[in-house]
Chains A and B, each alone.
Chain A
Amino acid sequence: MHIAEGFLPAPHAIGWTVAAAPFVVHGARAVVREVREHPESTLLLGAAGAFTFVLSAIKLPSVTGSSSHPTGTGAGAVLFRPPVMALLGTVVLLFQALLLAHGGLTTLGANAFAFAVVGPWAGYGAYRLARALGAGLLPGVFVALALADLATYVTTSLQLALAFPDAASGFAGAAVKFLGVFALTQVPLAVAEGLLGVLLFRVLTVSARPDLERLGLLAPAPAEERG
């Protein structure tokens, strides 16, 4: 769930836009460089953006019986790296704002910071850490997707707490309230997104192995035989 249009006061909307801008510009530069060197990447990057948008349209079967949607940026961060996701995530947010009325234009900066910057970096960091500690692809993917999902909602909660501090207990009290409403309820869904990621990558290792090898997620020569 993204912060709706007009919900943040103007100074916060501007502040978060300024905070997200360097990451998005960095991502845009990476994309411009990639497209200049390999013009054919335009289509692949466009496909990655469309996949992120569509992934957020898949209903996640949740343990409690209700359904929700994955954020989709964790999978993108593992597949395409966080700088590219900063740009693709922002493009996806713009599309969600203008095609689905989720999020908004003045809150695009704040949402981009949570969804396209913090989420992908947290997920990718967790993925690299897990792989460095000797975990396989699938456990790495699980922590990446779960953490990217959770980190996005924790950031959104803190952004709201900063904008609307509690009358009595200030920022800390507000953080507890917003984390309780938006992040705590997200924990089962973050686990569900992690599980979805494991299932997604398990299928991909079988049916799209060349793609994963090209993206550097699997060693080029398959050492183990699957059977």
Chain B
Amino acid sequence: MSAGLAVDDAAWASAWRTRAPLDKLALCGGLVVCALVLPAWPGSVLVALTAVVLALGPARVPARTFGRAVRWPLAFVATSALTAVVSVDGGGLGWAPGAAARAGDLAGHSVAGGAAVLLLATTTPMSDLLPALRRLRVPAAVVEVASVTYRLLFVLLGSLRTIREAQADRMGYSSVRRSYRSSGALAAAVLTRSFDRARRMQEGLAGRGMETGLRVLPEALPSSPAFLAASAAGLAALLTVGWVA
């Protein structure tokens, strides 16, 4: 596998990649808010279905990527929802009143919200979202630091995999003791490499006359009035059905 992250790869390959980031942010933000405020039944179910259908349908996100990405959050949701509905009473454990309904409620909100965020994540690469943050008045320096973080991430993840593979080939993880030594050396190697990369990039940019900041030409991704109108209509319908039902 490449050094990429599955969700990021999906975002670059998505059919919605060329849509305006703020359009997608509006749609997914709306879905997230719906997931949060609508009652779990039928609101959460409808939001989750909408997000999944949009992702797998028009946005053409691979179902496998979408499914694999929700595994971790689901583990958290299952553990926490279960803990929330177990009642501690005088040293004994038991189910709180209405435990099943409450756990379902929690899981519903969470799965719906998670699906909505994942719709944004699997259709919009970070490098499109970060300039959009700039338009939401986040300071330029902060957006730049975040952009460098994003771009260095893949270089470092690549280094991490290569070094770990080399260590494993030299029996670096054959015992707990060795695993610790190898992990420490791995973390140190990644840190020194990241500093080294940053320094070399800095020197290269300084040599090209960088004074104020990293300027890149933003790709023109025009907003679509039709997409925005459809999003607004869909969200309004979700809110109406969610409240009335």
Contacts and interface: CB of A to CB of B under 8 A. Distances in A.
A165 B89 CA distance: 13
Contacts of B118: 101
A125 B129 CA distance: 35
Given A95-B150, A97-B117, A181 B79 contact: yes
Given A6-B114, A199-B184, A91 B145 contact: yes
Interface in A123-143: none
Contacts of B146: 46, 49, 91, 94
A125 B60 CA distance: 48
Given A57-B160, A106-B32, A181-B83, A99 B7 contact: yes
Interface residues of B, number: 85
Nearest to B178: A61
Contact of A50 (B88, B110, B194): B194
B121 interface: yes
Contact of B112 (A2, A6, A32, A75): A6
Nearest to A103: B73
A168 interface: yes
B188 A208 contact: yes
Interface string A185-204: 00000001001101111111
Contacts of A50: 148-150, 152-153, 155-156, 194
B224 interface: no
Contacts of A92: 149
A148 to B, nearest CB: 15
> Chain A: interface secondary structure?
helix
A6 B109 contact: yes
A146 to B, nearest CB: 14
Interface in A59-115: 59-61, 63, 75, 87-88, 91-92, 94-95, 97-102, 104-106
Interface string B210-244: 11111000000000000000000000000000000
Contacts of A223: none
Contacts, number: 257
A46 B141 CA distance: 11
Interface string B178-194: 01110111111111101
* B29, B153, B189 interface centre (most CB from chain A within 10 Å): B153
A54 B120 contact: no
A58 interface: yes
A201 B43 CA distance: 50
Nearest to B35: A6
Contacts of A88: 145, 149
A55 B117 contact: no
Nearest to A72: B187
Contacts of B194: 47-48, 50-51, 54
B185 A43 contact: no
Contact of A51 (B150, B190, B205): B190
Contact of A169 (B32, B89, B156, B157): B89
A61 B167 CA distance: 14
B41 interface: no
Contact of B156 (A51, A61, A102, A204): A51
A42 B141 contact: yes
Nearest to A167: B96
18 contacts: A3-B80, A6-B112, A6-B113, A35-B141, A36-B141, A39-B212, A43-B205, A46-B145, A54-B190, A61-B183, A95-B153, A99-B121, A100-B72, A101-B121, A177-B83, A192-B180, A203-B189, A204-B192
Interface of B: 5, 7-8, 29, 32, 35-37, 69-70, 72-73, 76-77, 79-80, 83-84, 86-89, 96-97, 106, 109-114, 116-118, 120-121, 126, 129, 138-139, 141-142, 144-153, 155-157, 160, 173, 176, 179-181, 183-192, 194-195, 197-199, 201-202, 205-206, 210-214
Interface of A: 1-7, 10, 13, 28, 31-32, 35-36, 39-40, 42-51, 53-55, 57-61, 63, 75, 87-88, 91-92, 94-95, 97-102, 104-106, 160, 164, 166-169, 173-174, 176-178, 181, 192, 195-196, 198-204, 207-208, 211
Given A51-B190, A99-B153, A106-B32, 14 more contacts: A4-B80, A7-B77, A7-B113, A44-B198, A45-B145, A46-B144, A47-B148, A98-B121, A101-B118, A173-B88, A181-B83, A201-B188, A207-B192, A208-B188
